[in-house]
Amino acid sequence: MLKGRFDLMKKGKHNCDLKSCFFCKLSLKEWLPAIDVHRQMQQFKKGELIFTEGEEVKGMYVIYDGIAKVHKKWGDDKELIVRFAQKGDIIGHRGLGNDIVYPVSGTALEAVTACFIDLQFFKSSLKVNHELTYQLMLFFAEELQESEKKMRNMAHMPVRDRVINALEKIQEKFGTTDDGFANITITKQDIANFAGTTYETVFRVMNELVEEGMIKVSGKTFGIIVLR
Amino acid sequence: MLKGRFDLMKKGKHNCDLKSCFFCKLSLKEWLPAIDVHRQMQQFKKGELIFTEGEEVKGMYVIYDGIAKVHKKWGDDKELIVRFAQKGDIIGHRGLGNDIVYPVSGTALEAVTACFIDLQFFKSSLKVNHELTYQLMLFFAEELQESEKKMRNMAHMPVRDRVINALEKIQEKFGTTDDGFANITITKQDIANFAGTTYETVFRVMNELVEEGMIKVSGKTFGIIVLR
DNA sequence: ATTAAAGTATTATTTATGTCATAAAATTAG
DNA sequence: CTAATTTTATGACATAAATAATACTTTAAT
């Protein structure tokens, strides 16, 4: 009885119901007990690395709570943010492929709780759950489309528009609060890293946009009023 | 007997042996007759569009002969080449995903013979051939890695290095002839579109590289001598 | 509570790279 | 075979955007 309650508490710690996320939702119900055995809830503090570019791929993470950035470094003082992730998003899957190292890093932007699935088990899951594999394939296809669109923008679109784009994408991703701000706190440096430019340029452009009445800024968040 | 020879000739026209390409190789042998019924050999002249960005996705193409570029337009006089494709490569698969339109165009850089698989049948094939789906997923993962790496380069790497990179990638992809040239003829404009820059910059950089003895140029081809 | 570190603010300067203009050569099409 | 179009060649010029420099402010860590 006591032991039972203890077990419950331990499980209760992560609260994952084995049916909400991409991974569980697309797995056969017969497979869920296997997932239950293999999943591992992990905590990351704000600013902490979840996985590191260049390191051996250990597995995938499904974010249960918090937000993270997925980024790729350039030299030792520049980076490009490839994607933001929040509750329900899978990260680390870029580590799939022939190479056994992560091509990007994942960093918690605020405290993150994530469900870790080791690579071995993840691969087994793909072999067993065809729908999971199919949907993951489609997900990669979508991400590739996004990536190539952004790459084209990086090559041809002027910074100002890239910054606007970045702001739109961020607000779209994290939603809008009642008072019309993007539901996230984010540094201008990270906006710059996402838009593929420098802090100074983001600073300038955002000033312009505020003057033009297109966005509003308050501390480390912003809200889009009208664009274009 | 006569009929048999006729059939043979008709088949002979495309010469595809149903076991060389990605698609056939990863399909169950029981599925090959179905592929045989559905495949459709198509010809494209140099410069001809194979599929067009923004148009409804009709299906996939496996290149049987010739080379093509996969590109994404910007405005009406700029583009970014996302990928080159040659014999054995699949193109058009970027059309998979939620959206039903091609996110890119495919254009023959020299006469192309390709095996066309309509979308409907391709999807059925994925449902039936799990290994195909799995490998396609991995292929997308690889392409995503490539894309994000290039995107990061686009954001942070100086043009000169991007041009060098483009040349390396092209020569690596198409191989080297006996006399040390990349096994392809390609315009400087296309090199520029691949490197994400302008013709003039490619012209300038390639001149530099020739002067520095790092590459050699002959008509519409080039060869890398030493780099870095 | 007290440093240290990270983020913000701001302007001046530099430079890398795109744009423009023009002509010749080469390739493709009728 | 000739015209039309594409590709190459090249220099001058413009400018977008990065770099540098400096100060202040907020946030995180011991």
Q: In the prediction, which pLDDT does B108 show?
A: 97
Residue nearest to nucleotide D18 (CA to C1'): A198
Q: In the prediction, which pLDDT does A224 show?
A: 95
Contact A197 B155 (CB under 8 A): yes
HEC string for A33-86: HHHHHHCEEEEECCCCEEECCCCECCEEEEEEECCEEEEEEECCCEEEEEEEEC
Closest alpha carbon within chain A to B132? A134
Backbone phi and psi for residue B16, each to the nearest 5 degrees, phi listed first: -65, 130
Which tokens in the block code for residue B34?
Answer: 């179905």
Q: In the prediction, which pLDDT does B85 show?
A: 98
| Average pLDDT of every residue of chain A | 92
Please list every residue in chain A whose beta carbon sits closer than 8 Å to the beta carbon of residue B142.
97-98
Token pair 């009023």: residue: A225
* Strand C and A145 CB separated by under 7 Å: no
Contacts of A143 (CB under 8 A, 6+ apart): A83, B144
* Strand C and A199 CB separated by under 7 Å: yes
| Helix, strand, coil shares, percent, chain A, to 5 | 45, 25, 30
Q: A61-98: b or e for each residue (b if 16 or more CB lie within 10 Å)?
A: bbbbebbbbbbbbeeeeebbbbbbbbeebbbbbbbbbe
Strand C nucleotides, any atom under 7 Å from protein beta carbons: they are 6-12, 16-21, 27-29
Which tokens in the block code for residue B9?
Answer: 């000739």
In Å, what is the separation between the CA of A52 and the C1' of D2?
63
Q: In the prediction, which pLDDT does B227 show?
A: 73
Which tokens in the block code for residue A32?
Answer: 């869920």
pLDDT more than 70, % of chain B? 93
Contact A156 B74 (CB under 8 A): yes
Q: In the prediction, which pLDDT does A61 show?
A: 97
Task: Categorize the per-residue pLDDT at B228 as very low, low, confident or very high, splitting at 50, 70 and 90.
Answer: low
Q: From the candidates A80, A138, A148, which should be mutated to test the interface with B, based on the most B CB atoms within 10 A?
A: A148
A63 touches chain B (CB under 8 A): no
How close is the nearest chain A Cα to the Cα of B126, in Å? 8
Alpha carbon separation from A36 to A6, A16, A57, A59, A118 (Å, rounded): 17, 10, 21, 16, 12
Q: In the prediction, which pLDDT does B14 show?
A: 56
What 3-state class would DSSP assign to B84?
strand
Q: Are B214 and B225 in contact (CB under 8 A)?
A: yes
Concatenate the DSSP letters of all residues of B147-199 into one string.
Answer: HHHHHHHHHHS-HHHHHHHHHHHHHHHH-B-TTS-BSS---HHHHHHHHTS-H
A13 touches chain B (CB under 8 A): no
**Comparing C-alpha atoms, which of B46, B126, B54, B57 is closest to residue B91?**
B57
- Closest partner residue to A80 (CB to CB) among B93, B143, B156 is B156
Q: In the prediction, which pLDDT does B6 show?
A: 37
* Helix boundaries (H) for B29-158: 32-38, 119-128, 130-156
pLDDT at B166 over 70: yes
Task: Categorize the per-residue pLDDT at A98 as very low, low, confident or very high, splitting at 50, 70 and 90.
Answer: confident
Give contacts of A 101-130 with B, CB under 8 A.
103-104, 126-127, 130
B36 touches chain A (CB under 8 A): no
In Å, what is the separation between the CA of A204 and the C1' of D17?
11
Mean pLDDT (whole number) for B112-140: 97
Q: Are A155 and B150 in contact (CB under 8 A)?
A: no
Give kind and range of the element (H or E) at residue A159.
Answer: helix A159-174
Mean pLDDT (whole number) for A45-53: 96
How close is the nearest chain B Cα to the Cα of A11, in Å? 32
**Comparing C-alpha atoms, which of A115, A116, A118, A107 is closest to residue A45?**
A107
**A51-54 contacts at long range (C-beta below 8 A, 24 or more positions apart):** A51/A91, A51/A92, A51/A95, A51/A102, A51/A105, A51/A106, A52/A102, A52/A105, A53/A101, A53/A102, A53/A103, A53/A104, A53/A105, A54/A101, A54/A102
Contact B133 A138 (CB under 8 A): no
What 3-state class would DSSP assign to B60?
strand
- How far is the C-alpha of B209 from the C-alpha of B107, rounded, in Å? 29
Q: Are A58 and A75 in contact (CB under 8 A)?
A: no
- How far is the C-alpha of A224 from the C-alpha of A174, rounded, in Å? 13
| Average pLDDT of every residue of chain B | 92
Q: In the prediction, which pLDDT does B4 show?
A: 36
- How far is the C-alpha of B212 from the C-alpha of B216, rounded, in Å? 10
Contact B103 A155 (CB under 8 A): no
Strand D nucleotides, any atom under 7 Å from protein beta carbons: they are 6-12, 16-21, 27-29
* Strand C and A208 CB separated by under 7 Å: no
The partner residues of A44 in beta bridges, in order of sequence, read: A112
Mean pLDDT (whole number) for A71-87: 96
Alpha carbon separation from B125 to A134, B3, B118 (Å, rounded): 12, 30, 11
Q: Please name each of the domains of chain B with its CATH number.
A: 2-153 (2.60.120.10), 157-224 (1.10.10.10)
Q: Are B137 and A97 in contact (CB under 8 A)?
A: no
Angle of the B130-156 helix axis to the B159-174 helix axis, nearest 10: 150
Q: Are B106 and B61 in contact (CB under 8 A)?
A: yes
pLDDT tens digits along B76-119: 899 999 999 999 999 999 999 988 899 999 999 999 999 999 99
The partner residues of B79 in beta bridges, in order of sequence, read: B73
Which nucleotide is at minimal CA–C1' distance from A47? D28
pLDDT more than 90, % of chain A? 88
Q: In the prediction, which pLDDT does A13 show?
A: 53
Better pLDDT: A5 or B146:
B146
| pLDDT-wise least confident of A1-10, A206-215, A216-225, B177-186 | A1-10
Residue nearest to nucleotide D6 (CA to C1'): B187
Q: In the prediction, which pLDDT does B13 show?
A: 53
pLDDT tens digits along A106-134: 999 999 999 999 999 999 999 999 999 99
Token pair 């080449």: residue: B81
Q: In the prediction, which pLDDT does B9 show?
A: 32
Which tokens in the block code for residue A96?
Answer: 């799939």
How close is the nearest chain B Cα to the Cα of A94, in Å? 6
pLDDT at A142 over 70: yes
pLDDT tens digits along A176-201: 999 999 999 999 999 999 999 999 99
How close is the nearest chain A Cα to the Cα of B6, in Å? 40
Which nucleotide is at minimal CA–C1' distance from B47? C28
Which tokens in the block code for residue B165?
Answer: 């990179």
Strands of the sheet containing A112-118, edge to edge, are: A40-44, A112-118, A59-65, A90-91
Contact A145 B78 (CB under 8 A): no
Q: In the prediction, which pLDDT does A10 show?
A: 37
Residue A30 burial (C-beta neighbours within 10 Å; 0-12, 13-18, 19+) = exposed
pLDDT tens digits along B168-221: 999 999 999 999 999 999 999 999 999 999 999 999 999 999 999 999 999 999
Q: Are A70 and A105 in contact (CB under 8 A)?
A: yes
Contact B144 A140 (CB under 8 A): yes
How close is the nearest chain B Cα to the Cα of A80, in Å? 6
Give kind and range of the element (H or E) at residue A6.
Answer: helix A2-12
Task: Categorize the per-residue pLDDT at B7 as very low, low, confident or very high, splitting at 50, 70 and 90.
Answer: very low
pLDDT at B8 over 80: no
Alpha carbon separation from B136 to A141, B132, B139 (Å, rounded): 10, 6, 5
pLDDT tens digits along A150-181: 999 999 999 999 999 999 999 999 999 999 99
pLDDT at B12 over 80: no
Task: Categorize the per-residue pLDDT at B11 as very low, low, confident or very high, splitting at 50, 70 and 90.
Answer: very low
Q: In the prediction, which pLDDT does B1 show?
A: 40
Residue nearest to nucleotide C7 (CA to C1'): A187
Q: In the prediction, which pLDDT does B10 show?
A: 37
B132 touches chain A (CB under 8 A): no
